[in-house]
Amino acid sequence: MPEGKAIAEMFGRIAPRYDLANRLLSGGIDIYWRWRMVRLLKKIKPQRVIDLATGSGDVAFALKKGLGRNVEITGLDFCAEMLAQAAVKQAHLPDSQKITFTLGDCLNPPLPPETADGLTIAFGVRNLEDRKKGFAAMWHLLRPGGMLVILEASQPYSGFKSLYYLYLKHLMPRIARLITQDGSAYDYLADSIAAFPTAYELADELLAAGFKDVQTRRLTLGIVALHSAIKPIPI
Lowest mean pLDDT among 16-30, 132-146, 181-195: 181-195
Average pLDDT over residues 93-97: 71
Residue 140 lies in a domain: yes
Count of domains for the chain: 1
Residue 114 lies in a domain: yes
Indicate the length of the chain as a whole number: 235
Confidence class of residue 88 from pLDDT cuts 50, 70 and 90? very high
More confident position, 5 or 227: 227
DSSP 128-182: -S-HHHHHHHHHHHEEEEEEEEEEEE-PPPHHHHHHHHHIIIIIHHHHHHHHHS-
Average pLDDT over residues 127-136: 96
Residue 165 lies in a domain: yes
Residue 76 lies in a domain: yes
218: buried, middle or exposed (CB in 10 Å: 19+, 13-18, 0-12)?
Answer: middle
Q: Which of 9-23, 38-52, 80-94, 161-175 has the highest mean pLDDT?
A: 38-52
Average pLDDT over residues 18-39: 93
Residue 207 lies in a domain: yes
Residues 6+ apart with CB under 8 A from 139: 209, 210, 211, 231
Residue 147 lies in a domain: yes
Question: If you average pLDDT over every residue of the chain, what do you get?
Answer: 93
**The pLDDT of residue 96 is above 70:** no
Over the stretch 199-209, which tens digit does the pLDDT of each residue have?
A: 999 999 999 99
Picking from 15, 64, 17, 61, the residue whose alpha carbon sits closest to that of residue 42 is 64
Residue 235 lies in a domain: no
Q: Which amino acid is at 114?
A: E
> So what's the pLDDT on residue 113?
96
Residue 167 lies in a domain: yes
- Domain carrying residue 34: 4-230
**CATH number of the CATH domain containing 184:** 3.40.50.150
Confidence class of residue 41 from pLDDT cuts 50, 70 and 90? very high
